[in-house]
Amino acid sequence: MRKTTRITLAITVICMALAGCGSASEPSTTAHAVRSVDSQCSAGADVFTECVITLTDTRQVDCIVYSTNGKQAGLSCDWSHVSVADKEPAR
């Protein structure tokens, strides 16, 4: 009886491990494929700076850059409102 329980447990663990090995769909454009070609940032801000970043596919995204002690500490972009966001980039 113990041998059957161990085999059942082993099979269950193996099946659960294999269940997580599915394939995921690829994004239409990888993160490394779209790069910034231009950025225009507001001047004179101490901690937060607003930047408009133009990507290689001509889309523009608004970002906030957080800086402390002269060092860039964080970046947050509004990807929901990217200009021309409803169109797929040319491939």
Tens digit of pLDDT for each residue in 54-66? 888 888 889 888 8
User: Which pLDDT score is estimated for 45?
Assistant: 64
- Report whether pLDDT(90) > 70: no
**For range 60-79, the mean pLDDT:** 83
**For range 67-71, the mean pLDDT:** 76
Tens digit of pLDDT for each residue in 3-48? 777 777 767 767 566 665 555 555 555 555 556 678 888 876 678 8
Please provide residue 10's backbone torsions phi and psi, each rounded to the nearest 5 degrees. Answer: -65, -45
Please, which residues have CB within 8 angstroms of residue 38's CB and are 6 or more apart in sequence?
Answer: 53, 54
User: Which pLDDT score is estimated for 71?
Assistant: 75
Domain ranges of the chain: 35-83
Measure the CA–CA gap between 29 and 26, rounded to whole angstroms. 8
User: Which pLDDT score is estimated for 73?
Assistant: 75
Measure the CA–CA gap between 63 and 41, rounded to whole angstroms. 9
Q: What is the 3-state secondary structure (H, E, C) of the chain?
A: CHHHHHHHHHHHHHHHHHHCCCCCCCCCCCCCCCCEEEEEECCCCCCEEEEEEEECCCCEEEEEEEEECCEEEEEEECHHHCCCCCCCCCC
- Report whether pLDDT(85) > 60: no
